[in-house]
């Protein structure tokens, strides 16, 4: 099972738009992928789901993570790295079985020039620690506000080409 993680809880995020784009592209290639937005996390996760605690709300999310063997993380750049809520989410998931020996593709996005290069590197380090195998082709999509049309379709030729290549490689990964 494939799950796309929209790795922020910010309402109206470009991350969620990109996650929906990946889901649609996979569907057009005949693959049904789930989508988990970190907006769906319990709002008081810090109190309810860290350090051995488990809420009913998060238990449903944990089941999805446990059943997933391939993840696509769409990760926005926040203050030069990946969002803190993504690390809280990983910390809340059961260790080590949630991600151990599974596979992931990473996509960085930003409003600035760098497409979250540093945040993707930081998160790659975390993935290695939890034995989540990262696909070598990682994307960095900068100036995200110029990437979508009104229907949520990508408009830049290069971005279309590289996302398509990454999705094809991920299917075989
Ligand atoms: C808390 C926060 C920190 C941010 N820091 C950066 C940054 O360091 N570099 C950058 O290019 N954009 C930064 N941004 C802008 C995001 O890259 C931009 O909102 C983009 O649309 C992706 O994030 P989104 O999925 O929340 O929309 C930041 C946004 C937020 C909310």
Atom 8, ligand 1: residue with shortest CA distance? 79
Q: Which pLDDT score, from 0 to 100, does residue 142 have?
A: 98
For the entire predicted model, the pTM comes to 0.98
CA–centroid distance, 133 to ligand 1, in Å, is 26
Ligand 1 atom nearest residue 114's Cα: 11
pLDDT at 15 over 90: yes
Q: Decide whether any atom of ligand 1 lies within 6 Å of the 147 Cβ.
A: no
To 5 degrees, how large is the angle CA 68–CA 70–CA 75? 105
Could you give the CA distance from residue 68 to residue 116 in angstroms, rounded to a whole number?
25
| Nearest atom, ligand 1, residue 77 CA | 17
Distance 168 CA to ligand 1 centre (A): 27
Which atom of ligand 1 has the smallest separation from the CA of 81? 8
Does the beta carbon of 109 sit less than 6 angstroms from any atom of ligand 1?
A: yes
Instruction: Look at the domain 2-172 and name its fold.
Output: Rossmann fold (3.40.50)
Q: Is residue 155 within 8 Å of residue 143, measured between CB atoms? A: no
Q: Is the CB of 15 under 6 A from ligand 1?
A: yes
Query: How many C-beta atoms surround the C-beta of residue 89 within 10 A?
Result: 21
Using pLDDT thresholds of 50, 70 and 90, give the confidence band for residue 114: very high
Q: Is the pLDDT at 152 greater than 90, yes or no?
A: no
> What confidence tens digit (pLDDT) does each residue in 46-84 have?
999 999 999 999 999 999 999 999 999 999 999 999 999
DSSP string, the chain: -EEEEE----TT-HHHHHHHHHHHHHHHTT---EEEEGGGS-TTHHHHSSTT---HHHHHHHHHHHH-SEEEEEEE-BTTB--HHHHHHHHHS-TTTTTTTEEEEEEEE-SSSSTTHHHHHHHHHHHHHTTEEEPS--EEE-SGGGTB-TTS-B--HHHHHHHHHHHHHHHH-
């Amino acid at each position: 099972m494939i799950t796309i993680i929209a790795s922020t809880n910010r309402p109206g995020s470009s991350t969620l738009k990109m996650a929906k784009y990946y889901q649609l592209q996979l569907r057009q290639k005949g693959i049904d992928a789930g989508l988990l937005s970190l907006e769906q996390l319990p709002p008081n996760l810090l109190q309810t789901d860290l350090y051995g605690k488990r809420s009913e709300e998060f238990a449903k999310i944990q089941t999805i993570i446990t059943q997933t063997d391939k993840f696509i993380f769409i990760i926005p750049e926040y203050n030069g790295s990946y969002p803190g809520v993504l690390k809280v989410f990983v910390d809340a998931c059961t260790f080590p079985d949630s991600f151990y020996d599974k596979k992931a593709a990473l996509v960085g996005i930003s409003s600035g020039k760098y497409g979250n290069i540093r945040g993707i590197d930081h998160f790659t380090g975390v993935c290695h620690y939890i034995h989540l195998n990262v696909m070598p082709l990682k994307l960095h999509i900068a100036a995200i506000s110029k990437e979508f049309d009104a229907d949520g379709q990508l408009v830049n030729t290069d971005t279309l080409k590289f996302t398509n290549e990454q999705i094809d490689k991920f299917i075989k990964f």
